[in-house]
Amino acid sequence: MQVPRFPTNTPIDKILGGGLEKGAITNIFGPPGSGKTNVALCSLLNVKSAFYVDTEGSFSLERFYQLGGSAKKMQAVVLVEPGTWQEQHKCILQLESSIKKSKPEIIIVDSLVALYRLELDGKNFQQVNRQLATQYSVLSKIARTLDIPVLVTNQVYSTGEDVELTSRQIARYWSKCLIELKRGKKVGHRIALLRKHRSLPEGKEVQFEIKQNSLKEVKLGLF
């Protein structure tokens, strides 16, 4: 039996068997400008109701319209913009009650760790990590209870030649799907790699181009 998926309306759906898995957290990670927010915005195009937490001020209404959004489609999106880690933590903890009326088809947090990184220091390390784990736990519970996808974006840091997720152990534990975005050699060229999934083989990849009005798949060898 085929598991129902929630389309992101991007080429990433190709390596996800049609889209995001419902009832689980999907974590998209990559360096700045790798396309994480573009994927998040495209995921809003067909929703009747969505809850979007923007912690970086990266939600662009203009970009949403370029990708196929409209004022009418934007009415289906509840947009929340916390400015501090404490505000984000409060927002996520109150999410269950906040969405009772809107009953979203998807929850997006872009990015889950931007304010976390700003808050973190040597003294509060354990406390802030507990708070992050709690946020993941709340999001996971909502995903399972409502049978909807939760999409979070994650930043990375360098470990020599490789990159690693910020809050790697916490992120890997709670995320049932991990997708890494990489920059290609040409302008606008991106590579999406499936790093973890509950039911799909790891290592699948798709290459795409960020264009003005879409994210378009490119075949291997064209770049």
C-alpha–C-alpha distance, residues 49 and 77, integer Å: 6
100-134: pLDDT as tens digits: 888 999 999 999 999 999 999 988 999 999 999 99
pLDDT band at 223, cuts 50/70/90? Answer: very low
Is 139's pLDDT higher than 70? yes
Judge whether 223 lies within some domain.
no
Average pLDDT on 195-208 reads 95
Predicted confidence at residue 2, as pLDDT, reads 66
Nearest CA to 129 among 173, 164, 67, 179?
A: 173
Q: What is the mean pLDDT of residues 9-24?
A: 97
pLDDT given at position 193 = 97
Residue 198's closest CA among 126, 135, 149? 149
> Can you give the pTM of this predicted structure?
0.94
Q: What is the DSSP letter of 12?
A: G
Element (H, E) at 139: helix 125-146
Q: What's the domain count of the chain? A: 1
Q: What is the CATH number for 96?
A: 3.40.50.300
Q: Which of 119, 44, 58, 123 is nearest to 89 (CA)?
A: 119
At 49-99, the pLDDT tens digits run 999 999 999 999 999 999 999 999 999 999 999 999 999 999 999 999 999
Confirm whether 140 is domain-assigned: yes
The CA distance from 20 to 125, in Å, is 31
- 3-class SS of residue 45: coil
Q: Quick one: pLDDT at residue 168?
A: 84
Q: Cα separation of 92 and 172, whole Å?
A: 19
Range of the domain at 197: 5-218
In a domain, 97, yes or no: yes
- Looking at residue 122, its pLDDT comes to 83
The verdict on residue 135 lying in a domain is yes
pLDDT of 166:
81
Please name the residues in contact with 108: beta carbons below 8 A apart, sequence gap of 6 or more. 40, 43, 44, 50, 51, 52, 53, 150, 151, 152
- Secondary structure (3-state) at 51: strand
Name the average pLDDT for the chain.
93
pLDDT confidence of 160, banded at 50, 70, 90? low
| Res. 159: pLDDT tops 90 | no
Residue 9 lies in a domain: yes
pLDDT at 4: 79
Average pLDDT over residues 184-197: 94
